[in-house]
Amino acid sequence: MSLAINLSDVPKLLLHINNEDRDTWFKVGNALKTEFGEQAFSYWDDWSSTSKSYVKRDAKSVWDSLSIGKNTMGTIIYLAQQTGWKPEKQDLTPEQKRKIKEEQEARRAAREAEIEADQAKKEIMQKVVAKGCQKVWENYGIEFGHSGYLKHKQITALGIRYFHQTVLLWIDDLEEKVGVISGAKVFEFFKKLPKPKPENLHFLMFKKGSIAVPLRDTEGKIWSLQYISSTGVKLFPKFGRKVGLFHVIGYLKDAKVIAQAEGYATAASIHMATEWPVVVSFDCGNMVNVAPFIRQQAPDAKILMCGDNDDNGAGQAKALEAAMLIGADVVIPDFGTINK
């Protein structure tokens, strides 16, 4: 069953929500304005008018002062469900389901783009995500374990963590909050989650057998994590910081030769073959951002930029750009099919 809530459906839900509680009153108004804009005022006003404390002039003034965000349609659905509201079964055609999904994804993409464009909001969310990633790393990541990905790549765990149970990192960009749950609580979380899923919620699930590679700054602080599944699927948390962050394999101090690579598998392979310290930059575009840190840490070391051998030449080009920036050399490693 798919749940599609339109503005015309709102009155049915509002019948189940107490309009005497002022905090709830604000939440419902904020949610309606966020989801439907000014056209939703009449619905909110009609619902508000049955309250003992209703004053039409005050209601309009409050509505005009409400900002966009903080609450969504998911808030209204949740409040209505607490007092018995249940969605009517909707047997939608495949085409209707596809359209609903496209509309939801469009709203989600618009929200994410808005946050990325707002530098202040972006920095807030990066700090929020960092706290969640630190909690995942410290409380749930295990130093010893098994990874099908590492086995396939024929590499070992070098400063990374394993997961022996399912761990969910959830991110709320409206409330600017993050949370981490594990085990059976993950199932219960999704069971209670309103449908359709609120656009302000984002998830990264670390499954049993997966690994996490930390993204650190120059002070060693973890800002984000790269998730790598047992089959090699790689993901980062939404709004997680990446620019200028890295993971160091080995020790940079007093090193005579240092390599920089894009991905963990390439970096680990180089380290295991040469015993050089290797810096993971996570993608070719970030190599130029990380390179100055390496040179600062080892002014006299020979530094090798090990770009990926991409068909489109992106890895090679970015490695050359980073090398020219700090006076390093470029090497394009070839591990055959094992790291492809």
**Residue range 275-324, pLDDT digits in tens:** 999 999 999 889 999 999 999 999 999 999 998 887 788 888 999 999 99
Q: In what order do the strands lie in the sheet with 167-172?
A: 177-182, 167-172, 201-206
Distance CA 101, CA 259 (A): 44
Mean pLDDT of 326-338: 77
Under DSSP, the state recorded for 201 is E
Least confident of 111-115, 140-144, 201-205, 267-271: 111-115
Per-residue pLDDT for 132 more than 60?
yes
- pTM of the complete model beyond 0.85: no
Is the N-terminal amide bond of 237 cis, ω within 30° of 0?
Answer: no
* Helix %, strand %, coil % of the chain (to 5): 45, 15, 40
- Alpha carbon 6 to its chain's center: 28
Q: What is the phi-psi region of residue 49: left when phi exceeds 0, alpha when psi lies from -120 to 50, beta otherwise?
A: alpha
Eight-state DSSP code of residue 82: T
Residue 79: both structure tokens together: 């409040």
Amino acid at 143: E
User: In which band, very low, low, confident or very high, does the pLDDT at 182 lie, cut at 50, 70 and 90?
Assistant: very high
SS3 310: coil
Is pLDDT at 333 greater than 80 in this prediction?
A: no
Phi, psi of 337 (to 5 degrees): -95, -10
Average pLDDT over residues 160-165: 97
47: pLDDT confidence band, cut at 50, 70 and 90?
very high
CATH T-level fold of 247-331: Dna Topoisomerase Vi A Subunit; Chain: A, domain 2 (3.40.1360)
Residue 2: what pLDDT? 44
Q: For the chain, what is the mean pLDDT?
A: 89
The pLDDT of residue 302 is 96
The pLDDT, as a whole number, for residue 1 is 38
pLDDT in tens, 75-118: 899 899 998 888 776 667 888 778 877 877 776 677 667 666 77
Pair 204, 129: CB distance under 8 Å: no
Beta bridge partners of 178: 171
Residue 340 — pLDDT band, cuts 50, 70, 90? very low
Residue 271 or 40, more confident:
271
Can you read off the two tokens belonging to residue 231?
């089959």
Report the distance separating Cα 134 and Cα 187, nearest Å: 22
Average pLDDT over residues 195-220: 93
